Amino acid sequence: MTEVVVGIDIGGTNTAFGIVDHKGKCLIKNEIETRSQQPCNKFFDRLFSSLQEMFKDHEYQIKGIGIGAPNGNYYTGKIENPPNLKWGNVNLVEMVKKYYNVPIVVTNDANAAALGEMKFGAARKMKNFILITLGTGLGSGIVVNGELLYGHDGFAGELGHVIVEKNGRLCGCGRRGCLETYASATGIRRTAFEKLAEYDEDSLLRHISCAELTARTIYEFARKGDRIAIECFNYTGKILGEALADAVAYLSPEAIIIFGGLAKSGDLLLNPVREHYEKNVLNIFKNKVKIMTSQLKSDEAAILGAGALIWHEMNHRK
């Protein structure tokens, strides 16, 4: 019997899950619709019956289950009113225990991604680093001394909600100027509108509908040399680089790892991030901190992260 864990990444639309061995090999993986308008236990019924189906021809022993979920709280095992899931407060650990009576750990998706990089990806052998996910919003997982930083109540690492511009863009949290209103897939889209207003020159961006104007389109136009699209990446990188200079003053990490959809833009984003990070960071940190992208396959990264979470728990917290 091969000892394995189950990694589950619950998203607002889809949920990815799979079987992960202790070397970070994703042996089986699948994806289902989350459908959070239905009760949470129905979701897990679907998930685990799909898992058992996948399982049946293999000799696996499930040692634990790791779950990455929006607003997942490591201390309580709950998800706490995530805006993109309709389940309210649910104790995932209690609920999943009814299916498999094994160790179960919950955290948010960015924290899970950080552990995935530490155990299987870009942060192997690192003990102090920051992971930034650039998706619809901006999430972060902070590792200090080889452990995730959860803080007093489990909500540490909200870098998306550091204020980078006083009286800046309105954020979903109700405040203004949060980092994620600039550095995220939705942030770069808002930047595009700003740049279209600021400059007068023609741009491929002027010839598409608002609905088509996505981070992906801006990326494609930038690759074609569109100056306003490139400027969108430069501005996003500037804001993110400046914010990371502050993050380093707090945490003195060995590296910062950029993860998620926007990270796939590569140097188009990373070059301005690095430039403005180095320009703004305190002297004692200059040329010390590596800024790099995730080293996990993007379709497995979230599953590996959730798997790493539970492997880490079982290995280090006995």
* Local structure of 86: helix, strand or coil: coil
Alpha carbons 240 and 273: distance in angstroms, whole number: 6
Q: Where are the beta strands (DSSP E) in the chain?
A: 2-10, 14-21, 26-33, 60-68, 78-80, 89-91, 104-107, 129-134, 138-144, 147-148, 255-259, 290-293
**Which residue(s) pair with 85 in the sheet?**
none
* Local structure of 25: helix, strand or coil: coil
Give the residue with the Cβ less far from its own copies, 90 or 222: 90
Give the residue with the Cβ less far from its own copies, 6 or 247: 247
- As measured in angstroms, the least distance from the Cβ of 170 to its own copies is 14
Contact between 64 and 105 (Cβ < 8 Å): yes
Give the residue with the Cβ less far from its own copies, 272 or 307: 272
Give the residue with the Cβ less far from its own copies, 82 or 307: 82
Pick from 26, 123, 132, 245: which binds its own copies (CB under 8 A)?
245
Residues 100-129 contacting its own copies, CB under 8 A: 127-129
Contact between 216 and 233 (Cβ < 8 Å): no
Pick from 62, 93, 102, 149: which binds its own copies (CB under 8 A)?
149
Give the residue with the Cβ less far from its own copies, 54 or 173: 173
Q: Which of 173, 116, 79, 139 is nearest to 262 (CA)?
A: 139
* DSSP result, 260-289: SGGGGGTHHHHHHHHHHHHHHS-GGGTTTS
Pick the stretch among 14-22, 195-203, 230-238, 240-248 that binds its own copies (CB under 8 A): 240-248
Token readout for 220 is: 């494609």
**Which residue(s) pair with 163 in the sheet?**
178
State yes or no: residue 246 binds its own copies (CB under 8 A): yes
x/- binding map, residues 160-189, to its own copies, per CB under 8 A?
-xxx---------xxx--------------
Pick from 158, 194, 275, 278: which binds its own copies (CB under 8 A)?
158
What does the chain come to in residues? Answer: 318
- As measured in angstroms, the least distance from the Cβ of 287 to its own copies is 12
> Per-residue b/e over 28-39, b at no fewer than 16 CB within 10 Å?
bbeeeebebeee
Pick the stretch among 17-25, 99-107, 212-220, 246-254 that binds its own copies (CB under 8 A): 246-254
Pick from 84, 91, 280, 295: which binds its own copies (CB under 8 A)?
280
**What's the 3-state SS for 167-226?**
CCCECCCCCECEHHHCCCHHHHHHHHHHHHHHCCCCCHHHHCCHHHCCHHHHHHHHHCCC
State yes or no: residue 150 binds its own copies (CB under 8 A): yes
In angstroms, the Cα distances linking 224 to 217, 230, 233, 268, 273 are 11, 9, 13, 12, 20
x/- binding map, residues 75-104, to its own copies, per CB under 8 A?
------------------------------
Pick the stretch among 1-9, 89-97, 196-204, 276-284 that binds its own copies (CB under 8 A): 276-284
Pick the stretch among 31-39, 93-101, 157-165, 269-277 that binds its own copies (CB under 8 A): 157-165
Pick from 156, 196, 204, 292: which binds its own copies (CB under 8 A)?
156
Contact residues for its own copies (CB under 8 A)?
127-129, 142, 144-145, 147, 149-159, 161-163, 173-175, 242, 245-247, 249-254, 280, 282-285, 288-289
